[in-house]
Amino acid sequence: MAFKTIRIGTRDSILATWQAEHVAAGLQKNGYKTELVFIKTEGDQVLDTPLPMLGGKGVFTKALDDALLNDEVDIAVHSFKDIPTSTPDGLEVIAVLEREDPRDVIVARTSPDFMDDENYEAVIATSSHRRGGQWLNKFPKHKLTDIRGNVHTRLRKLNENGWDGAIFAAAGLKRVGFEANISRYLEWMISAPAQGAVAVMGRADKPSIHRALSQLHHSETALCTRIERRFLQVLEGGCSAPLGAFAEVMNDTIVFKGVLTSLKGDQREEISLNIPIEHSASMGDRAAESLMARDTVMAILTEIRRELR
C-alpha cells in the first residue's frame, strides 16, 4: 500500500470542495494521504457573461488540466458533466464515482404552483440551453433569464431578482445540504450527459495514481455516462447544445433516452433505445446516428450552430 500524499486539484466552490473532499475521504480510507489544491478557473472568475459565450465546458476544466500537465496536482475532481468529451493529450478520466440523483429540479422563489397555470407567464433562471430548450418546449409562454455562480449565489440571485424559479441539478443541492430548497423534481426533463456523476481526471503516465483510484471507480456509472457522453460527442454538441442524454441499467439492459430541442423550445426530437448490456458498447453512436437520420434534427442542429456562432 502506498502512502504518498495525493494532491487533489479542485475549484473552490462549495460543491466542488464537497466533491474533492468526498474523493479524499475515499482515498484516506484506503490508506492514502491527501491534500486539496484550490485552483481558480475562468468559469469561476467571469460571472457576468453567459457560459456559452465564454467557450462552454472547458472554462471550468482548463486551469485544472494545466495543473495536471504541469505536475502541480496528481488528480483533478470534476462534476463529470463539466468535462468536455475531448480531453487534452496525456490526460484521461481515471475514475467515475457512483452517480447521485441525475434529475433536474425547480427551486421556486415562493411556490411552484405557477407551473400548473398554463396562462401564467413565469420568468425562469437558467444558463443552460438544454434546460431552457426543454422548459420552453413545455412552457412556451414562460421567459428565461441567465443565471451564473455557485449554488449559494444562484439561490441568492433567485430571491433578490423576483424571478419565479431557477433550475438546478438535484445532485448538487443534495450534496451541499440544500435538498430542502427543491420545489419539484422535473421528471419530464432529460438530464445532461453524465449529470450527477463525479469524475477524476489524471495523467495517463501515472499508473500508481490509477491504482489508488481504482477502488473508488463505479463500473455501472462509468458505462452509462460513457454512452451518454458518446451520444453528445457524435452529435457534436458542447455545453451550448440543447442536448440531454440519460442511460441506466435495468435488468441487464441499458435503457437510454436522448433529446434535442431548438434553442427556443419550439422543436423537440427524442430517441429511446433498450439494448442488452453485452451489446451496449456502441449504444451512444447508434442513438446519435438514429437521431441524425431525421431531416428535422439536422435542420435544428444547423439552426443552433447559426444562432450560437
Query: 289, 288, 283, 292: which is closest to 225 by C-alpha?
Result: 283
Helix (H, G, I), strand (E, B) or coil at 286: helix
Q: What is the DSSP string of 196-232?
A: T-EEEEEETT-HHHHHHHGGG--HHHHHHHHHHHHHH
Active-site entry in 44, 65, 74, 82 = 82
Please tell me the total count of domains within the chain. Answer: 3
Q: What sign has the CA pseudo-torsion 83, 86, 92, 97?
A: positive
Instruction: Flag whether 152 is in a domain.
Output: yes
Instruction: Flag whether 301 is in a domain.
Output: yes
Q: 124 and 12: one domain?
A: no
- pLDDT by residue (tens digit) across 54-73? 455 566 799 999 999 999 99
- pLDDT by residue (tens digit) across 154-189? 999 999 999 999 999 999 999 999 999 999 999 999
Q: How confident is the model at residue 40 (pLDDT cuts 50, 70, 90)?
A: confident
CA 85/CA 229 separation, integer angstroms: 6
Q: Please give the pLDDT value at position 195.
A: 98
Q: Please give the pLDDT value at position 237.
A: 67
Cross-sheet strand order for the sheet of 243-250 = 243-250, 253-261, 268-276
Q: 130 and 179: one domain?
A: yes
Q: How confident is the model at residue 297 (pLDDT cuts 50, 70, 90)?
A: very high
Q: Please give the pLDDT value at position 309.
A: 77
Q: 206 and 79: one domain?
A: yes
Q: 131 and 76: one domain?
A: no
The CATH code of the domain that includes 90 is: 3.40.190.10
Instruction: Flag whether 222 is in a domain.
Output: no
Fill in the amino acid letter for 109.
R
Q: 10 and 90: one domain?
A: yes
Q: Clarify whether 117 is annotated catalytic.
A: no
Q: 138 and 283: one domain?
A: no
Instruction: Flag whether 246 is in a domain.
Output: yes
Instruction: Flag whether 192 is in a domain.
Output: no
Instruction: Flag whether 257 is in a domain.
Output: yes
Q: 90 and 203: one domain?
A: yes
Residue 251 CB-density burial (10 A; 0-12 exposed, 13-18 middle, 19+ buried): exposed
Q: 143 and 181: one domain?
A: yes
Quick check: 296 pLDDT over 70?
yes
Q: How confident is the model at residue 1 (pLDDT cuts 50, 70, 90)?
A: very low
User: What is the residue range of 26's domain?
Assistant: 5-96+197-217
Q: 131 and 68: one domain?
A: no
Q: 19 and 81: one domain?
A: yes
- pLDDT by residue (tens digit) across 221-279? 999 999 999 999 999 866 578 999 999 999 999 999 999 999 999 999 999 999 999 99
Fill in the amino acid letter for 43.
G
Taking the CA atoms of the chain, what radius of gyration do you get in angstroms?
A: 19
Instruction: Flag whether 273 is in a domain.
Output: yes
CA 164/CA 290 separation, integer angstroms: 37
Q: 91 and 38: one domain?
A: yes
Q: 208 and 76: one domain?
A: yes
Instruction: Flag whether 165 is in a domain.
Output: yes
